[in-house]
Amino acid sequence: METVNPTEPTPTRIAILGATGYGGGELLRLLLQHPRVDVVAATSRSREGMPVGHVHRNLHGWTDLAFSSPTADWIAENADIAIGAMPHGASAETLAPLVDTGQRVIDLSGDFRLRDARDYAHWYRREHPRPDLLEHAVYGCPELEGDTIATARLVASPGCFATALNLAMLPAAAAGLLRGRPQVVAMTGSSGSGAEARPTTHHPERAATLRPYKVLAHQHVPEVMQLLADAGSPVDGIDFTPVSAPIVRGILAIVSAELADPDARPEDLYREFYAESPFVKVLDDREPEVASIAGSNYVEVRARRTPDGRLHAVCAIDNLVKGAAGQAVQSLNRMIGAPEELGLTWPGMWP
C-alpha cells in the first residue's frame, strides 16, 4: 500500500480556462511539471474532447488531459484556483461567477487590471460586465505587490507590454524619481498576437518588416500609469509606440524618462531594488536581449542616466512566460504559500 508523507502539502487543484491559446498552452507547460499543483481541467468549447497534446504538440505524452467544457459549479467544486487565459470581455463574464462563489482566481486578460470602469470602457471600447469586482482585484506584479497577492481572491495579471514597461521603470518610480511623460518604444514577437492569424499579425506578413501599431493608443498604457502611481511616481502620461517585430517570442522595451533628480544613479538604484527579486537580472556589462531569456521567466534590465540627466532603461522579457503564464505562476506560488520561484527556475535558451 502506498504511504503518504504527512509533511507534503496536498496539491492545489488548478483549472485553466481558455487553454487552447498560447497563454493557456504555456500555463499547461509550466503547471504540468509543477510539484505543488494538479491540473484538473483545461477548458475549451471549440476543442472539447480533444487531447491537449493534439493542440499543444510540445505536450504530447506529458498528460492524458483532454479539453473539456465543465460548468462553473463543477469548477468551483473541483478546483481550488481557476486561471483564466481568455480574451478581454469573455474573461470577466466567465470568471465573475467563480469569484462570486468565493473561489480564488487569476486572470491573464485585461478585464480586472484597471480600478476605474470608465478607464476600462475608454481603453477596451466596451462596458465592463462586472465593475463591482474591480475594487477587489489585486494587480499581479510580484515585484511590487507580492504580499498583497498572497491573500488575494482575484489577481489581475499584468499585460505583456505592461510587464516590460513596469519592470523598466518600477525602481525609479518607487524612489519618487519619475515625472513628466516617459517615452517608450517596445518591440514584440508574433506570438503576442495570439494563435489565430490575422492580416497584420500573421507571421509571414511581419517576418521581413518592423511595423508600429496602436501608436499612442495601446491599452496597456493605463495599467502602467496606475502601477507607477502606486509605486510613488504619478506621471502625466506615457507616449508609447509598440512595434511588431519579425520574431516569435520576446519583448524589448526602451524607455526614456525625466528624472526628478538629474544626479540620481539608476544603476545603483535598480540593483538595490531588485536584489530580492529572483527573476530580474540587472545588467551592467552588456545590453538586454530577448534571445537570452526566451522560454524563461527571467527578465534582463539595464538602467543608466543620460548626459542630460534623464533615465534610459532597457528591459527584455519573454512575452508568453514572464509576460503572461510565468508571472501568473509566480502569483499562484504566493497564493498557495510556496516559494515564488517554484517550478520556474530554468534558464532561457541560447542561441
For the chain, the three-class secondary structure string (H helix, E strand, C coil) is CCCCCCCCCCCEEEEEECCCCHHHHHHHHHHCCCCCEEEEEEECCCCCCCEHHHHCHHHCCCCCCECECCCHHHHHHHCCEEEECCCCCHHHHHHHHHHHCCCEEEECCCCCCCCCHHHHHHHHCCCCCCHHHHHHCEECCHHHHHHHHHCCCEEECCCHHHHHHHHHHHHHHHCCCEEEEEEEEEEECHHHHCCCCCCCCCHHHHCCCCEECCCCCCCCHHHHHHHHHHHCCCCCCCEEEEEECCCCCCEEEEEEEEECCCCCCHHHHHHHHCCCCCCEEECCCCCCCCHHHCCCCCEEEEEEECCCCEEEEEEEECCCHHHHHHHHHHHHHHHCCCCCCCCCCCCCCCC
Rounded CA separation 79/11 (Å): 11
> Within the chain, which residue ranges are assigned CATH 3.40.50.720?
12-136
Mean pLDDT, consecutive 10-residue stretches, the chain (351 aa), reads 62 98 97 98 96 97 96 97 96 97 97 98 97 97 94 98 98 98 97 75 83 97 98 98 96 98 97 98 97 97 97 98 98 97 95 85
Q: Say if residue 87 is preceded by a cis peptide, omega within 30 of 0.
A: no
**Quick one: cell of 215?**
501608436
**Quick one: cell of 209?**
518588416
Rounded CA separation 82/17 (Å): 7
Has 141 been annotated as catalytic? no
Fold category of 12-136 in CATH: Rossmann fold (3.40.50)
Q: What are phi and psi of 243, to 5 degrees?
A: -135, 125
CA 49 to chain centre: 28
The radius of gyration of the chain's CA atoms, rounded to the nearest angstrom, is 20
Give the active site residue among 30, 160, 294, 315: 160
pLDDT at position 4: 47
Instruction: For domain 161-319, give its CATH number from 3.40.50.280, 2.30.40.10, 3.40.50.720, 3.30.360.10.
Output: 3.30.360.10
Tell me the HSE value of 70 on the side-chain side, using a 13 A CA sphere: 21
pTM: 0.96
Rounded CA separation 108/26 (Å): 12
Q: Are strands 299-305 and 280-282 parallel, antiparallel or unpaired?
A: parallel
What does the buried/exposed string (b/e) look like for 193-232 if buried means 16 or more CB atoms within 10 Å of the residue's CB? beeeeeeebeeeebeeeeeeeeeeebbbbbbbbbbbebbe
211 beta partners: 244
312 beta partners: 256, 304
> Within the chain, which residue ranges are assigned CATH 3.30.360.10?
161-319
What does the buried/exposed string (b/e) look like for 248-257 if buried means 16 or more CB atoms within 10 Å of the residue's CB? bbbbbbbbeb
Q: Count how many residues are written for the chain.
A: 351
Rounded CA separation 157/322 (Å): 10
Of 187, 183, 227, 150, which is closest to residue 315 (Cα–Cα)? 187
